[in-house]
Structures are given as C-alpha cells and as structure tokens.
Structure 1
Amino acid sequence: MSERQRIVVIGGVACGPKAAARARRMDPNAEITIIEQGSALSYAGCGMPYYIKGTVSEMRELMCTPVGTPRNASFFRNVKNIEVYTRTRAVSIDREHKLVRAVNLETGEQYEFPYDKLVLATGGYSVMPPIPGIRLDYVFGLREPRNASAIRDAISSGSIKRVVIVGGGLIGLEMSEALVERGLEVDVVEMMPHVLPGLLDVETAAFLTKHIVAKGVNVYTGEKVIRLEGDLGAVNRVITEKRELPADMVLIAVGVRPRSDLAREAGLEIGPHGGILVNEWMQTSDPDIYAGGDCVENKHLITGEWAYAPLGSTANKHGRVIGTNIAGGDEVFPGILGTAIVKVFDYNVGRTGLTEQEARQRGYNVVTCLAPGPDKPHYYPTAQTLLIKLIADADTRRLLGIQAVGPGEADKRVDVAATALRFKATVDDVATLDLTYAPPYSQALDNLIHAANIVRNKIDGLAESISPQEVKAKMDRGDDFILLDVRSPAEYEAVRIEDPRVRLIPLGRLRPSLDDLPRDKEIIPFCKISLRGYEAYRILKGAGFTNVRFMDGGIVAWPYELKQGA
C-alpha cells in the first residue's frame, strides 16, 4: 500500500458518494476519486416521481444539500477534497495490478486509476423487457434525472392524454399518482396476480387496489404486455394478452436489476439474483474491493438467504460501512428485512419481513391476522384507518412480517415491527412493547399491539378466522353457510355485502337469537373491522357451536363490491 491510501469509487449516486465522504472524514490524507458515467452526482432518485408530479418544482432540488448547495464535482472537490470524473465509464478492473481503466464518454480519452481500495457502487438499471415496440418514442423508463425531465417535458407539452404503466411495483404505483395528479388517464398493467408482488400479500394488495381504482386508475393484474404499437415512430397502443389500450406515453416500471457486469468480468463472486456478493464488512470475494448499493445482494435477516432489495436507504447505510472500513475502521452491515414504504394517493403502504406466501414457502407454521382500525382513538379528529396484516410462526411465536395499508400512519407501525424483527421478537414481545400513547398520536393499545394480540389469540386457540378472499371463494362455489353480520341495522342499511347467505343479527341481540341459528352449518360472523365479529365468535363457541370462524378484517377489509343504501 502506498503511503497515502488511494481509494477509487466507481459510481457517484448514493452508496459511492456516501462511502467517499465517510472515508474522507476517517482519513484526511487519502487520495479519493469518484468515477461516474452520468453527468449528475449524488441525486435523490427517489424524489423523481414527485418532480414529475410537481410537488418538487425544480430538478436541482434533488441534487442539492439541505442548504441548497449543488452536489456537483466542484462541491466534492472543494468541500470534500474528493476528485470526481463525470461522464466517465469504468471499463475494466485489473485486480493483479490494482488498476481501474476508464474512458471519457464525451472525448474518448482513456484513464488508468491505481487503487489500494476499490469501491463498486455501480447501482442498478431499469429492466426494459424485450417486447416489440419497446424503442418507440414516448416509451420511458425512470432511473435517471434525464428520464424524469423527459417525462415531465412530454407531459407539459400538452400532447399526452393517456399513459399506460407497465408494472405495478413501487415506481409504477408512485407514478400512477403523479400522472393522475397531472390530469392524465392512467392504466396500470401488472403481469403478476396483484400489485406490489413480493411486497404485499393478496389481501393487503386488494385493499390498496380498491383505493387506486377509486382514484380513477384502471388496474389490470395477471395480464402480460405482448407488444407496443405506434404511428410515425411514436407509441399509440399497448397490446396485452386480453386487451388493447390506447397510449400517448408508456412507462416501463417492471423492476431493477443489479449493474454487476464490471464485477463479473473482473472475476468477483456473483449471487443468485445477479448482484455482487459481499460479506458483513461489504467486501467482495477480493478483500481489497468493496461493493454496496443497488449492485449487491444482502443477507435476509430472517431467512439467511441472499436477497436483492434495491433501496436508497440501504445504499446509504452500505456507503457508511464501506467508508469506515476502507479507512481502517471495523463496522459491519448485518443484512436487510425488505423494509419499504410508498405513498399511493391517500394511502400509506408499508411492509417489512416476510409475506405470508414467503413464510409458507420456507416451511413456517404460519398464522396471520388482518386488523383494520383507526390509527388514533375514533373520537380524535385526525384519526385515519389503517389495515395491518401480521405474519408470525405459530411454533415459536416469532414475528415474521407486517404489512400496513391505509390513510393512517403506516410508517410508525412498520418501523417498530422492523426493530422487533431485527431482535427476533415474538408476538408476545410486541404485545407488551412500551409505546407512546396520547390521543393525538395513537390508541391506548396501538394498532400493532392490537394485531399482535389477535395473532396471540389464534396461536392460543382462542380465535379462528377466514380471510375475505376465502369467503368470496366460498360464495362463488355456492357453499352453504351463514355470513353473520353483527353490526347495527343502521350500519347494515348504509353499506353491506349483498348475498342471500348474509344474515343480520346485531351483536346485542345475538345471545337471545342463538336458537334461531342452525348448528349444522358453518357460521362466519363479521362486523366493520371484526372486533364485534370476534365477540360473536366467542359467544357462538361458548354456546356450543363448533363450525365457526370470524371474517378477518370485517367489511373494511372486504375488497369486493358492496351494496350501499336501501
């Protein structure tokens, strides 16, 4: 190693600048160089949908420090004493001689950068599926500032009226809101059975989809795009397996893949998802080469498996760990839980840990609940509904995951659950957490604690439930059962499930009416959120009814058509 350590960072968006800045604070004498193939540095890519929407007025706001200083090459040179080469692509790594070879994309000039420690922060790239018409004009991905500027300029031209978004993931749903707010008609096409696949389960996804559709977006799930068609070189139609959709613009948002070619060509170990494999210290299979951000895979803290979850929050954590370690420190990054949150119109959508599907695939004895309710006491003016799905292992009682969807405050509950998951908490631990309480902030028993108690009841044999999706399937099959609505007559008249198997018996009249209910049929009680539904379940079980389950989540979690009014 040279007397002054030479640190070369490939990638200048999130992890790279963070690693370089941290290394500079740790080692004031190091020679630090950032190589970035784009023209923009250290920009807030997650803010681009809000720039397109107009919430963020200028692109430069995504490229500045909190006090308005542009994070450009001059900033890094003058403030951080870090050399930056923009519009410069690293083309190869010579591990034997510790050299990075690069080329200036504008002049063709070639460079060699010797290093003692190398950081790969090459990020990811938007997947552009190989479908006919993908290269027509007005077909966009959204990964870089130039994409966001092009989309916003096209919308501002006034020629765009209808947009088809291919992909119902995080970016697709964020953009559906942005485009509707800009006055456009929007269709979302998702090839998987529901939106946010891999992030939400079917119940929470259905609850979210109902809200998106109510906001005017057409959502087509389980449907694959076959081709894009156009006129005079510009897209004007999207052809799916089932329909033809007119489109003045198409946004491709089918996911992100790690940009790991440089590492692969250098002989570094690559993981099952195509990302660079790193240890706890963020070292690759070459101990002098570190990697972080969207180009790497992480260990999942629950399963221990390699996972790919490209998020700006994770990239910045990686950068700090890398910067510490390349400057002689000793810091580890243990792994991820897949914690994520997104705003979709009026709903907050958060999740962490495993979905029910993921947990079952890994052999857990899964128990879940759907727990809707106000995020503050019902009497408090700003109380908003939040639907929580909790996933746990019945054998160990360990919390496995959470999903929170609705206008209520999802982030608080998901963040608390992520902390609990990090320390392998059980649902009993969660139920007794000493959380803050006052009416402006939460209920006396927070939504998360309430959900944990429901799961505890199920594990302890005090509750058996059925999901709204399972109830609907029973209806569609023509099963003979009683769907027992225990709400008040006024609630029933206002909104109800229209089906001949529905029977209204308000909870206060249930005990005197037990003899009117058949004991040879399954009875499924429910109410608005199934708190009274659970009470009815306990009454029926106590009276000797054996074939009883309450409907998880009640009518609030029912994503299907409801009859309103008389």
Structure 2
Amino acid sequence: MKVLIIGGVAAGTKTAAKLKREDRSAKITVITRDKDISYAGCGLPYYVGGLIESREELIVNTPQKYAKMTGVEVKTGKEATALWADKKQVLVKDLFTGEEEVCSYDKLVLAVGASPVELPVPGMKQQGVFKMRTPDDATAIRAYAEENQVKKAVVIGAGFIGLEAAENLKTRGIQVTVIDFAAQVLPNILDKEMAGYVKKHLLKEGIRVITGTKAEEVVGNGKVTGVKTSAGFLGCDLLITAAGIRPNTEFLQDSGLEMFKGTILVDNTMKTNLEGVYAAGDCVMVTNRITGKPQWSPMGSSANMEGRTLAQLLSGKNKTYPGVLGTGIVKLPGLNVGRTGLTEEQAKAAGYEVVSVLAPTDDKAHYYPGAGFFITKLIAEKNTHKLLGVQVMGPGAVDKMIDIAVMGLNMGAALEDFENADFAYAPPFSTAIHPFVQAVYVLLNKLSGDLVSMTPAEYAEGKAKGYKVIDAGLTPSIHGAQYVDPFAVNGEIEGLDKEEKLLLVCAKGKRAYFLQNRMRFYGYKNTVVLEGSTFFNDVKVENPEGAVSPEEEKRVKALGFLKDKNTLDRFNGRVITRNGKITAEEARTIAEAAELFGSGEVTMTSRLTMEIQGVPFANIEPLREYLMQAGLETGGTGSKVRPVVSCKGTTCQYGLIDTFALSEEIHERFFHGYANVKLPHKFKIAVGGCPNNCVKPDLNDLGIIGQRIPLVDMEKCRGCKVCRVENNCPIKVAKVVDGKIVIPENECNHCGRCIGKCPFKAFEEYTNGYRIYIGGRWGKKVAQGRYLDKVFTDKEEVLAIVEKAILLFREQGITGERFADTVARLGFENVQEQLLTDDLLGRKEENIKAQKHLTGGATC
C-alpha cells in the first residue's frame, strides 16, 4: 500500500508513525512545506516567555530522526498545489527550486493543518508584527523582543494562543494589551460570566484587556509603534496577531472535495467523499461527541488522536472516531482555566433544557500549605440530569477536574453517577469530598429543590432587582446589607418579613445555603442563594445606608482605598503612577474616572501617587475596572513593597542617571513581582538622579542615588593657584594641596560638577554609578539611611541589592518593625555583608514560601 500524507505536524506524523507500526510493508511518504516537522505548536508561547529555553526543545522530531525511527520517508520544503482524485495523483511543488512533480498514491491523507488568519488591516507588514504558529515565529518574536528591548506589546485575539502569548510577554516584563473583536475573552470557549471573571483577573494581574474592539490600522514608519483601534490608539513596540486560524485547504477548492467554510468534511472513519482520500487534524470538520453535530475543533490533542485512529483504519482495523468534546485548558498568570463539553449557551442552542450551577470550593484541604480554590460551573440536562459541560478555574490542578468531566461525558454520565465516586483523597491533593463531587452535590440540591439559587449570569442580568440582600458571611462585609448569622437563627429574624424576597449572600455560598435551610423551616418563603456569592460576584445593595463595616474597610484598604473619616462610606483611591510620571492619556483617564466615580477631585500624595477623592463604597470596583482597562491600577498600601518614587533624572540639570527607566524596572520587578509577598512592614524605595536628594532616597527603606565618579588624570593637573575644580565643588571638599588637586574619597558625593571644569583636561573622564542607602525612614519617626561602602557601576548589581534587601527584611525582620529597625537590630555591617553576597538569593524560594508576617505592621 502506497500512502501519501500531506502535512507533517501533529496529525500527519502521528498517522504515518502508527500506520508504519501497524503495517511495516506500507510505503509511506510525508510531504510538508515547512522545514520542521512534529513540532510542539502549543509550546511556542512558553518559548517566547523563556520557560522553554531553546528552540530545539520545541522540535519533537527532526525529519532525519523521525525517518530513521519510523521508516517513513519525509520530504520537507514541498507544497501540494493540486489534487486529482480520479487519477490518484497530487501535484507537488519544490519551494526551493520551483520544480513540480506528480506524486501518485493508493491512499491519501490530508493533514494540512491551519494557518493564522491574515487580518485585513493596513500596516501589517511593519517590522515587529508577528503571528504565532511555527517555531520560526516564536524564535523571531523572542529575538525581536530582546534585541529591541520591547516595553509594550499588543496582542490581537483573546483566545487560547492570544492569552498564552500575553502571559509570556508579561513574564518578560513587557506591558501587554489584549484586544478582541468579540464581546468577551475566550469566545465560544467559556460562558459570558466565566469569561468576565477571567477578564477581571487578567486586569488585576496587569494585563490590559479590551473586548468588543476592532483593530483598524497598524501604525509605524517601517517599525510598529502602535495600533489604531475602535477604542482608540494603543502604543506598542511589538504586535502579535492571534485572531484565529483557517484551514490550509485553498489548493483543494477545485478538487471535488466536500468542504464547509474551508474545513474538510469526513465521516466517523475520517474518510472524505473522494475515493481513497482521508483527512485529519486542524483542517477537518469532525462531530461533537454529545450532540452528534459537525464541530471544528483544531487542537493538538484531537489531531493526534484522529491520526492514530486513522492509521488503524488504514491498516484494516474496525475503528471509528467518536468525535470531540472541545476540551481545552489554558495557563494564565495565577489562574488556570479549563473547559469541556457544551457551554450553557451552546447547550441551549442545541435544544437541551439546561440547568447549571456555579460552585467555588477548596482545591485541597484548606489547612494544607498552598491550598487554593476551584470555581466550577456544571451544565446538565434538567430532566435526565445528564452532564453536558463543565468549566473550571483556579490557581492549581484544574486539569484533574476537567479530566473527570471528560470521562463522565464520554460515558454519558448523569450527575448521580458522580455522587459517591471514590476519588483519591489526601490533604496535599484534594478535599475529603472531592471538589468535583461537591459541585455535583450543589447542582443535585438545586434540582431537588433543597437549594433555591440564582446564578451569577442571572444576577448580572438584573434578576435580583427587588430583593433585599442578606449578608450571611462570617462577619458583616456587604455595605448596606442586613447581617444574619446562619447559626444563630432559631426562629423568626427581627426586621425580616416572611413574604419578602431575600437574596442570601456569604463568601462562597455555603453559609447562605445553611441560612436558607433554616429560614425555610421557620416559614420564610422567598429566599434565594446567590451562587458564588461575593467570591465570584460584585454584590451591591441599592441605596445602601450606614457605615461600611470594618472588615470591608480593611479589604478595600488593601486595594488602595482609604476611608475619608468625615464620611460614612466615602474613600480616596490611590492610582499607581509607577514613579510619578504618567502619560497624557492616563491623566485623561484618571480625570474621567474622578468625575464618573468620585467627587471629581484628584490629589497628589507625597509618594507621587494620584488619589481620586470621594469615591462611594459602591463605586470602588467599577472605578478599579475602569482604570484597569486603561492599564492603570490602584494600590500602594499594606506591608509590602510600595510603589517606587523618582526624581526627574536626566531631565533635570543635575540629573546623572535615567531615574524613570530604573524606577520603572524596579516597579515591575519588585512592586509587581513581589505583589503577593508579605513583609514585616511597608518597604519604600526612592530613586534619585543626583546627590541633591530631592525625593529623599536617604529617608526611604532603600534609596538609590545616581553618581558621577571623576577619573582624575593627575599628570594633567597643573596645581593652578585659582583652581576651577576647587571653585566649582558645591560641597567644598576639592582642595589644591602641595600643587595638586585632592578630593577625599570618603567626602566626595560624586555629583559630577567638576567634570569638564579643568582647562587642562584633568577632569574629563568619569564613571556613572549608583550609591545605595539602606535603613532610612520618615514619618512618625525619622532615621537617616546609611549608604553601602561600594559605589555600584552595574545596574543589574543594583537590582540584585534591592532584591536581597527585600528578602533580608522578610527573612530576618520582626513583624511590625520597619526596615530601619531591622538594620539597627542586626547591625549595619552585618546587613551590608549579607547584601554584598548571594546567600539570600540562594534561599529565595524557601523564604518566599514561608508563612510569615501574615498580619504585617503597616497601617496605611
């Protein structure tokens, strides 16, 4: 049997290798237009981010290695240009020589895959514009980002690849904006409310996401500088397009092959309508395993399984391909997102009577270190209880939840089939009742009527209008809601009418369910539990009265909102400016936000953050989301690394270093990079461009001051009676002694004012550097920082000192004390010695994982 396979990535190489194992006599040839075969397309974003270090790691097999291992002939640089099925021939062009040849076959496998959609947007040919489909694409993106020191990027497309690209660009310290024409992220993958949670999470993680937005023009003069969109101009140094793919089937249009929107139609044996022609992979329209209807599911996992099944079929085995569930999973910063089966919207469109539930649970025993959460949405058929689809989010092993669902869907399971499933349990891995089973219990309670609830989607659509919100949390936390402790209810509840419509809300939903159970017993007829409660939903009370609870006040304080003591529910929100510098666009956004959500007034704090005044408690979350859409964030409170302050740097006549660039780098590495690291107290950093100390670097926990160190050529010194260097020294330490200029090393502040002042060129050369102060403090108590003995000339060494200082403070500081106190207690010499060696960095992972300083000492 002579088998020709067109396409050499997942489906093609899998078909060939398996078929050769099934039938060693088969003569199999794989042709591919790329130079690489069998590469890890799903790993490309992680190469860009640096998690995968070398390009070679992306190549599963080289053509030579693959051919030797399988016995399959591989021809690269060959492109199929026509199919003549009646003759069982394919016209093939050599992409290097341009020569054409006719290849015959007994069986033909079309595994031509898909390519990124070419957006009809002017300017796409600029340098710095990339797609992400092949190892060459990933290599080019990473090299471009490194060589051009890219600071800002735009990703067009908020699907799996687009979001993975965004995460990995952020890992490189690049500021990322993701845009998508769809109204949500992960369109056709998640339901609207789940996608909304993902979008908010990405915004909180510093990835700007703008949905419902169309790219209109790529701007640049040969090199990309930005993108004009329907939402405005977005500046960038790098642009990645990930706005979908389309099958590589153009050459098959006149072949007689039956297709739908470019995809090849096959039956359950992967056979096309043409005799002897089969297809598999991203170019194929298969079926949905649940509905039996056609579905395009271009995934590497599906392509491999389709190829394996096809190989068995070609070897004569009685096999069928059952179809796909559309299973997918994506890693985002701090959140993994998986799904399988039908979304609620898809299930309704397919004609099912749908019931769903959203259940937050622990992902392992809550007391076990590193425990996180799952947010699980189950979709089932109302009458039969048959499971239809699952969506799960969480920081941990989301895949295990999805894989359980896949097995259930494959077997046509009903919810009851999971009810007493004996899943593995131990505290490091799961909860005693598995999180998946817990979610099933909640949905079964809903179906039986034991739980009456409202979904987050229904809440977002306004279904709770007219309901009175009852706060059933551990402590009062919902502004304006009546608080009821579920376990204190033993009869009628004062102030609540039994006919009143009541929305019961707690943290995740469990306490609200317990409260509903008791209230129904005591005759309350219209209670509804909000699924996901405050963990998932932004819960507001219409026209709230009274003061904000201490718990809520503490919570929003951690978000950068400080209570105005003259009011019951007004807050001032701190907008982080990175170093005191903002763009005109950001300034406009802050001003607009102040008018929309606050009093219209903006003040500047001593730490160079912008503070929006008079924000009602109910406006805090809308304000934060509005700012995050523009790439701005609130914060700068708590026992953590605080936002960096900077002087004007080289834009000042005295400035010796680019303080803005350095402070932005410190901001990304340590304000963002250490955002979740608790310290004994706040840790403030200031960067000054010269020894004038305009931003008080020596009164911060750590201060960096630019230095210009003169390299004096004493042979050129004439010992002039009137020495210009001596006269120009602002601190009067330069002196002519015995006919030569003398500058005491321990007295010179390296301001650089002497450079170029000697007419005989003795003071022409210099070295720029940095002096680092530690242990400064101002406020209730003042402490003058002391500088390390060494003057640093390497910026990376300076950044390492900053990190080591933070790590030392976390490791050796006592909760509640300032860094100045830690330095005084340990001794300056001891601290300096530790900062000038790398032992602290060696203990970094252990240090950060330790459960320390959980309360912290900062009060503002």
Q: The TM-score by the shorter chain falls in which range?
A: over 0.9
* 1:500-542, Cα deviation, whole Å (9 max, x unpaired): 3x22222223445623213343211121110111111222222
- Cross-structure match for 1:181: 171
Distance 1:49 1:237 in 2: 22
Q: Per the alignment, do residues 252 and 560 of structure 1 end up closer, same or farther by CA in structure 2, a change over 3 Å counting?
A: farther
What is the TM-score with the length of structure 1 in the denominator? 0.93
The CA deviation at 1:100 is 1.2
**2:526 alignment partner, one of 535, 544, 547:** 547
Mark the structure with the bigger radius of gyration: 2
The CA deviation at 1:48 is 0.4
The CA deviation at 1:497 is 4.1
- Cross-structure match for 1:98: 88
Kept in 1, the 8 Å contact 2:190–2:343? The answer is: yes
The CA deviation at 1:473 is 4.9
Distance 2:414 2:456 in 1: 26
Kept in 1, the 8 Å contact 2:491–2:522? The answer is: no
- Cross-structure match for 1:276: 264
* 1:115-138, Cα deviation, whole Å (9 max, x unpaired): 001110000111122122223221
Letter in 1 for 2:177: D
Distance 1:145 1:160 in 2: 20
Q: Secondary structure, in 3 states, of the residue corresponding to 1:146?
A: helix
Q: Per the alignment, do residues 13 and 540 of structure 1 end up closer, same or farther by CA in structure 2, a change over 3 Å counting?
A: same
Kept in 2, the 8 Å contact 1:402–1:414? The answer is: yes
- Cross-structure match for 1:263: 252
Q: Per the alignment, do residues 289 and 472 of structure 1 end up closer, same or farther by CA in structure 2, a change over 3 Å counting?
A: closer
- Cross-structure match for 2:135: 145
- Cross-structure match for 1:486: 472
* 1:289-346, Cα deviation, whole Å (9 max, x unpaired): 1110000011101111111111100111111112122222232211000111111112
Letter in 1 for 2:19: A
Deviating 4+ runs (over 3 angstroms): 468-475, 510-513, 559-563
**1:316 alignment partner, one of 304, 307, 310:** 304
* 1:65-114, Cα deviation, whole Å (9 max, x unpaired): xxxxxx22222332222211111101111111111110100111212211
Q: Secondary structure, in 3 states, of the residue corresponding to 2:185?
A: coil
* 1:148-191, Cα deviation, whole Å (9 max, x unpaired): 11111111113311111111110111111100000000011122
- Cross-structure match for 2:503: 524
**1:11 alignment partner, one of 7, 17, 25:** 7
- 1:429 paired with 2:407, answer no
Distance 1:551 1:435 in 2: 28
Distance 2:27 2:413 in 1: 44
Q: Per the alignment, do residues 503 and 287 of structure 1 end up closer, same or farther by CA in structure 2, a change over 3 Å counting?
A: farther
**2:207 alignment partner, one of 217, 237, 244:** 217
- Cross-structure match for 1:165: 155
Structure 2, unmatched stretches of 5+, are 541-551, 558-562, 564-860
Letter in 2 for 1:441: F
Letter in 2 for 1:10: I
Letter in 2 for 1:296: V
Distance 1:158 1:138 in 2: 9
- Cross-structure match for 2:100: 110
Letter in 2 for 1:149: T
Count matched residues: 545
Answer 1 or 2: higher relative contact order, Cα 8 Å, separation at least 6: 1
Q: Percent sequence identity over matched residues?
A: 36
- Cross-structure match for 2:52: 56
Distance 1:239 1:497 in 2: 41
Distance 2:211 2:367 in 1: 38
Distance 1:238 1:306 in 2: 36
Q: Secondary structure, in 3 states, of the residue corresponding to 1:315?
A: helix
**1:26 alignment partner, one of 16, 22, 25:** 22
Kept in 2, the 8 Å contact 1:210–1:559? The answer is: no
- Cross-structure match for 1:339: 327
Kept in 1, the 8 Å contact 2:492–2:522? The answer is: no
Letter in 1 for 2:204: A
**1:190 alignment partner, one of 176, 180, 189:** 180
Distance 1:417 1:154 in 2: 41
Distance 2:211 2:227 in 1: 15
Q: Per the alignment, do residues 408 and 485 of structure 1 end up closer, same or farther by CA in structure 2, a change over 3 Å counting?
A: farther
- Cross-structure match for 1:68: none
The CA deviation at 1:544 is 2.0
Q: Per the alignment, do residues 513 and 160 of structure 1 end up closer, same or farther by CA in structure 2, a change over 3 Å counting?
A: farther
Kept in 2, the 8 Å contact 1:466–1:551? The answer is: yes
Q: Secondary structure, in 3 states, of the residue corresponding to 1:150?
A: helix
